[in-house]
Amino acid sequence: LVVGISIAILAGRGHRPCVETFMFAHGLNSKRVFEGATNLVYAYAGQWMYFEIMAEMEDPQTFPKAFAISGPIMVSMYLVVACVSYYYLGENVTG
């Protein structure tokens, strides 16, 4: 719900002419690439909790099915937020 509201606000503001988007960031170096890679790793850092969730499930055998559904949804939500935010905010994106 919050993601949908945020995207609607960005879409309502529109793509401002002063916003620039680039295929590769200016000043891209190995440090910035590493920072971006660690952001991706930390985005999925909740994987340690999968064992806790499985332990609490009534039927742990259904966990692979639950993950097969929730995993792609999580990835697609991350991608939608990242792509839409970058489109509307361009190089002004801070996170």
- For 8-17, write each residue's pLDDT tens digit: 877 777 766 6
Instruction: Tell which wins on pLDDT, 89 or 29.
Output: 29
CB 66 within 8 A of CB 49: no
Contact status, residue 20 vs residue 91, Cβ threshold 8 Å: yes
The contacts of residue 22 (CB under 8 Å, 6+ apart) are: 91
- The model carries a pTM of 0.55
Cβ(19)–Cβ(90) under 8 Å?
A: yes
- Contact assessment for residue 15 and residue 94, using Cβ atoms and an 8 Å cutoff: no
16-20, 49-53, 60-64, 80-84, range with the lowest pLDDT: 16-20
